[in-house]
Amino acid sequence: MKKIKVIAFDADDTLWINEPYFREAEEKFSNLLEDFLPHHSVQKELFKTEMDNLDLYGYGVKSFILSMIETIGRITNNNADIKLVNKAVDLGRELLKKPVILLDGVEDVLKKLNGSYRLVMATKGDLLDQERKLIKSGLEKHFHHIEIMSDKKPSDYAKLLKHLDCKAEDFLMIGNSVKSDAMPVLDLGGYAIHVPYHTTWAYEKVDIKIDNPKFFEAETIEHVIDFIL
């Protein structure tokens, strides 16, 4: 990795806690509909709605809220009390107000790398919510560039690289999702370090063993330093 000039970090569940909040909201949502379906069935229906809507709504809390409302309609045959819809919207509001809690070692890692590399935050999700979390995190000062992406496909990373005037072979992406943070970058010829998180959204899970000399696994965010410096 001696050629690396730009290091990009995913945000949610790489820099700060995110997915556990959604899991908590899903559980509360299941409670709202327990008179209609068992919990696991409600969560399955919600996930199906999210996947059906992904191309239209993208990622993030607002997309989650719309999918909850649509799921309520489908499960109740559009006979739900409007109070159920209001409660689902309240669950979304709660998510938008959650505290931003950094994962252990994040700021130390950024401080060690800052100055030697151009650091980028490259995340997907709702623009306003991600901007809110970044400001609350206090990490903005460490980054040369902030990119809030609509998706993380190879074409999206290619656009980012072009904007940064950076070759793929000079680029390293660090994140908790093999699917979104590693595979697209490796496809372009870049480097990737996967930092697993104990809770992962079902959409991001892949059952693939990556055999690529530019792919690395780190136990924690603190261990990425061992591969870079």
pTM: 0.95
User: What single-letter amino acid sits at 90?
Assistant: D
Please state which CATH number belongs to domain 19-96: 1.10.150.240
**Mean per-residue pLDDT, 196-202:** 94
Domain ranges within the chain, ordered by starting residue: 6-17+100-228, 19-96
Give 110-165 as a 3 state SS string: HHHHECCEEEEEEEECCHHHHHHHHHHHCCHHHCCEEEEECCCCHHHHHHHHHHHC
229, pLDDT greater than 90: no
pLDDT in tens, 179-189: 999 999 999 99
pLDDT in tens, 95-118: 999 999 999 999 999 999 999 999
d(CA 224, CA 229): 9
CATH classification number, 6-17+100-228, choose in 1.25.10.10, 3.40.50.1000, 3.40.462.20, 3.30.56.10: 3.40.50.1000
